[in-house]
Amino acid sequence: MKRFMAVVLVLVCVFLFAAQSASAQGKLEIFSWWAGDEGPALQALIDRYSTLYPTIGVVNSTVTGGSGVNARAVLKTRMLGGDPPDSFQVHAGQELIGTWVVAKRMEDLAPLFKSEGWTAKFPAGLVALLSSKGGIWSVPVNIHRSNVLWYLPAKLKEWGVTAPKTWDEFLSTCAALRAKGLQSPLVVGESWTYQHLWESVALGVLGPDDWSALWSGKLKFNDPKAVKVWETFGKVLSYANADASGLSWQQATDRLVKGDAAFNIMGDWAAGYMVTTLKLKPNADFGWAASPGTAGVFMMLSDSFGIPLGVKNHDAAVKWIKLLASKEGQDIFNPLKGSIAARLDSDMTKYNAYSQSAAKDWQSGKIVGSLVHGAVAPESFNSQFGTVMDIFLNGMNAKAAANAAQAIADQVGLGK
Ligand code: GAL
């Protein structure tokens, strides 16, 4: 009996100790769409955080779906329901400024930028993209490039073609490949990847100045120049796979890697996937070029993290933001992610051949912002752009799509 009592006593003590240390532990919930195959870079950052702050338990909440298509909806429900995560992923630019900043739901991080000296550590243009109404609303963890054409050098050699430099050349190369029996030389995935392809076509057809003029409202979507974008887009799509809607962006990349398609246009998270997950070597196993007609132009986007007002674990969230803003944090995350550091002082020896070439283009190229990944247009335009795409895909009518885009631009007051 005595022995039994002693065992009970020990168990009670263990329980009380565990309960006490659990309550003494901190917690941090971060929210993003970097799930599964997209997760390794984020996980490396979380691992570093856990080493630095072993008593803080990190809850890594992810909602699968490339470019945040599903995560944004879940985030909205949580923000409006008064249950914000401690820190969430959001694209630098209008995606945050036009939503949660306008709704006064975000903490102004300008004081942190000042006390930590971050303003001088990031490019001025990027800080401007994160700023509005005198505040700075999130911290950038990377720079991704949207306008990249991916291919396998060995397959192109086998097929006797080279990476096309213009959209006209792209069309003639695809025609040649089809004549050789490759039915769908271009691989596309689910809905948002169509929009991703569209922004590369638009940049190539319009050039950087007219692309930017669309977002400042100076060039109308129904201007003949912009109608031509849809016409070219339609021709490009005629070389794409018929089962696109069933493929995630990773599955589209897999098709390329297997040699079932010659080209894919995707942001450079595809490099992260090919190197980190598929263990392929840049320049040897896969190759890349600026998407047709966009050499010398870098269509950028940046993933950032902000802190909503009233979060449960504010101190832990600030520690998180500080880690991802640090040189160390950025150089842990980006070599795995396929992006380059947003900071100006990152250690490029840690990056592979693809990222080094992207960094060079980032420094020397003309910079424009991505539509699909939140940089140039307000969410009110972005969220309706899918409808414009549907209108186009249903009738392949360039003018109808262009008019629909202009109607939305007018409705949301684009550029005003
Ligand atoms: C982008 C995001 C990238 C990557 C990609 C695919 O919007 O900025 O980091 O996650 O979507 O999901």
User: Which among 45, 90, 144, 276 is the best mutation to test ligand 1's pocket, defined by most ligand atoms within 8 Å of the CB?
Assistant: 144
Evaluate if residue 24 carries a pLDDT over 60: no
In Å, what is the CA distance from 68 to each residue of 62, 215, 223, 262, 297? Answer: 10, 21, 31, 27, 25
Among protein residues, the one whose CA lies closest to atom 7 of ligand 1: 67
DSSP letter, residue 275 = I
Domain borders along the chain are 23-144+301-369, 146-299+373-412
- Residue 102 confidence (pLDDT): 95
In Å, what is the CA distance from 388 to each residue of 99, 239, 299, 415? Answer: 21, 21, 21, 19
Ligand 1 near 301 CB (within 6 A): yes
Ligand 1 near 145 CB (within 6 A): no
| pLDDT bucket at 25, cuts 50 / 70 / 90 | confident
222 φ/ψ angles, rounded to the nearest 5 degrees: -95, 10
Mean pLDDT estimate for the chain: 95
The tokens describing 61, both together, are 């909440």
Give mean pLDDT, residues 84-104.
Answer: 96
Give mean pLDDT, residues 45-50.
Answer: 98
Q: What are the DSSP E strand ranges found in 73-176?
A: 87-91, 131-132, 135-136, 139-140, 144-145, 148-151
Q: Which CATH architecture has domain 23-144+301-369?
A: 3-Layer(aba) Sandwich (3.40)
Cα(159) to ligand 1 centroid in Å equals 31
Among protein residues, the one whose CA lies closest to atom 5 of ligand 1: 67
Q: Which atom of ligand 1 is nearest to the CA of 373?
A: 7
Count Cβ neighbours within 10 Å for each residue of 299-332 and write b for 16 or more, e otherwise. bbbbbbbbbbeebebeebbbbbbbbbbbeebbbb
Cα(330) to ligand 1 centroid in Å equals 16
**Fold of domain 146-299+373-412:** D-Maltodextrin-Binding Protein; domain 2 (3.40.190)
User: Which among 337, 373, 376 is the best mutation to test ligand 1's pocket, defined by most ligand atoms within 8 Å of the CB?
Assistant: 373
Amino acid letter at 416?
K
- Residue 338 sits at the vertex; the CA angle it makes with 350 and 164, to the nearest 5 degrees, is 120
Domains 23-144+301-369 and 146-299+373-412 share a fold: yes
Q: Which atom of ligand 1 is nearest to the CA of 91?
A: 8
Among protein residues, the one whose CA lies closest to atom 12 of ligand 1: 66
Distance in angstroms (rounded) separating the CA atoms of residues 148 and 410: 30
- pTM for the whole structure: 0.94
Q: What percentage of the chain has pLDDT greater than the value 70?
A: 94
Give mean pLDDT, residues 177-183.
Answer: 98
Task: Please report how the helices 224-237 and 398-412 are oriented relative to each other, as an axis angle in degrees rounded to 10.
Answer: 130
| pLDDT bucket at 258, cuts 50 / 70 / 90 | very high
Distance in angstroms (rounded) separating the CA atoms of residues 71 and 34: 10
Cα(269) to ligand 1 centroid in Å equals 7
